[in-house]
Amino acid sequence: MKAISVLGSTGSIGTQTLEIVQDFPDQFRVVALTAGRNLPLLVEQIQRHSPEVVALADDSLLKGLEERLNSLPADQQPQRQPELVGGPGGLNVAASWDTADLVVTGIVGCAGLLPTLAAIRAGKDLALANKETLIAAGPVVLPELKKSGSRLLPADSEHSAIFQCLQGTPWADNARLSTGVPTPGLRRIQLTASGGAFRDWAAADLEKASVADATSHPNWSMGRKITVDSASLMNKGLEVIEAHYLFGLDYDHIEIVIHPQSIIHSMIELADSSVLAQLGWPDMKLPILYCMSWPSRLETPWRRLNLTEVGQLTFNEPDPAKYPCMQLAYAAGRAGGTMPAVLNAANEEAVAQFLEERIHFLDIPDLIETVCERHQSDRTDQPQLDDVLAVDQWARIAVREQVDRGTRRLPLTAMAA
Ligand code: NAD
Ligand code: MG
pLDDT tens track for 129-149: 999 999 999 999 999 999 999
Q: Which residues lie near ion ligand 2 (Cβ < 5 Å)?
A: 156-158
Query: What amino acid occupies position 377?
Result: S
Whole-number Å distance, alpha carbon 343 to ligand 2 midpoint, is 18
DSSP for 142-157, written as a single string: HHHHHHH---EEE-SH
Task: Look up the pTM and report it.
Answer: 0.96
> Beta strand 83-86 with 53-56: parallel, antiparallel or unpaired?
parallel
Residue of 221, 224, 226 to test ligand 1 pocket, by largest number of atoms within 8 Å of CB: 226
Residue 220 beta carbon below 6 angstroms from any ligand 1 atom: yes
Q: Nearest-CA neighbor of 118 among 238, 18, 176, 32?
A: 32
pLDDT tens track for 351-375: 999 999 999 999 999 999 999 999 9
Lowest mean pLDDT, pick from 6-10, 50-54, 211-215, 219-223: 219-223
Whole-number Å distance, alpha carbon 156 to ligand 2 midpoint, is 5
Task: Give the pLDDT score at 406.
Answer: 87
Domain residue limits, the chain: 2-150, 155-195+233-318
Question: How far is Cα 114 from Cα 83, in angstroms, rounded to an integer?
Answer: 20
pLDDT tens track for 16-51: 999 999 999 999 999 999 999 999 999 999 999 999
Q: Nearest-CA neighbor of 388 among 51, 101, 135?
A: 135
Whole-number Å distance, alpha carbon 373 to ligand 2 midpoint, is 27
Instruction: Compute the average pLDDT of residues 3-12.
Output: 98
The CATH classification number of 2-150 equals 3.40.50.720
